[in-house]
Amino acid sequence: MKILIIEDNPDHAELARLALEPHFEVCLLKSGEDALQYLEGIAENDCPAAILLDYSLPGIDGLTLFERIIENGYDMPVIIVTGKGDEVIAVKAMKKGVYDYVVKSGNYRAVLPSVIHKAVKQHEVEKEKAKLSLELKRLVITDDLTGLFNRRYFYKKIEEEIVRAKRQNGKLSLILFDLDYFKEYNDTFGHLEGDGVLKETGRIILYSIRDKVDSGFRYGGDEFAVILPGADKKHASDVAGRIKRSVKEKKMGNVDISAGIVEYVPESSMEDFIKTADGALYESKKLRGRGVNIK
């Protein structure tokens, strides 16, 4: 486990190194500038597990350096070292996110290994909690079968995009899909094969839309939706056509797609926007796979 010590006083740096080396691999740097340069050039798997940071550094002081480390997205616990009488600075640093502090008084170096072990452990626990929280949020808004977002999140997302489109006077389009002949396929080949069709449709939708711009949803059963921020009806029609062709090319029995497309107009409510797309889908269903309907 590598520990980065940033300390301009060579005697203090050497004493800290001697205190830590029985427990850790130690890297010594003399200034904030050196530290930022070191971190910028280091591989992710070679990053230090923690940083022991002296507050009184030439050029960039310890607190400013810590803020720069956070701003640059480096994810590691920082323990700040202050002189006696600088406890107010240490508390200020803790409020900004420093994991712990050590005051240079008495035999303070004896506590360094335990302080660092504690900070590293705390950091690992917090990272695991954040990971679990993120996964829980993902599960709440995701359809298990297809990997698309679920219906619950559809309403939240479309409301957000309507607000953004109004605020920025931008375009917004919605596609509602329905799988034609899916019931017949399901009845003929069974639910497992039917689930395979739904999964494949979800994969095709994700492949056909813009990553981190558009959003795909399983709207319910064999119904799907795509929200396209910044897109007009022409772009939405191209996307729907691409998805339709891809589904047909998979030759999943007679399964095909009908789609209803609508472009948002500012005077529409969210309910009217969805209702218009649903009406376009209904008209498209009458064609049974022969086209999409645009409102």
Domains of the chain: residue spans and CATH: 2-137 (3.40.50.2300), 151-294 (3.30.70.270)
Mean local confidence (pLDDT), 193-200:
95
10 Å Cβ neighbour count for 91?
13
| Per-residue pLDDT, 129 | 92
**pLDDT, tens digit, 9 for 90 and up, residues 276-285:** 999 999 988 8
Which pLDDT value is given to residue 243?
95
**Closest-CA residue to 2 (of 99, 111, 76, 56):** 76
Look at residue 292 in the predicted model and tell me its pLDDT: 57
Choosing from 187, 222, 232, 272, which is the catalytic residue?
A: 222
E strand or H helix that includes residue 121: helix 112-141
Indicate if the pLDDT at residue 289 is higher than 60. Answer: no
Specify the pLDDT at position 288.
Answer: 66
Provide CB contacts within 8 A for 67, sequence distance 6+: 96
Contact 218, 151 (CB under 8 A): yes
pLDDT, one tens digit per residue, over 225-256 is: 999 999 999 999 999 999 999 999 999 999 99
pLDDT above 60 (res 295): no
pLDDT at 225 (0 to 100): 97
pLDDT at residue 41, rounded to an integer = 80
Catalytic status, residue 222: yes
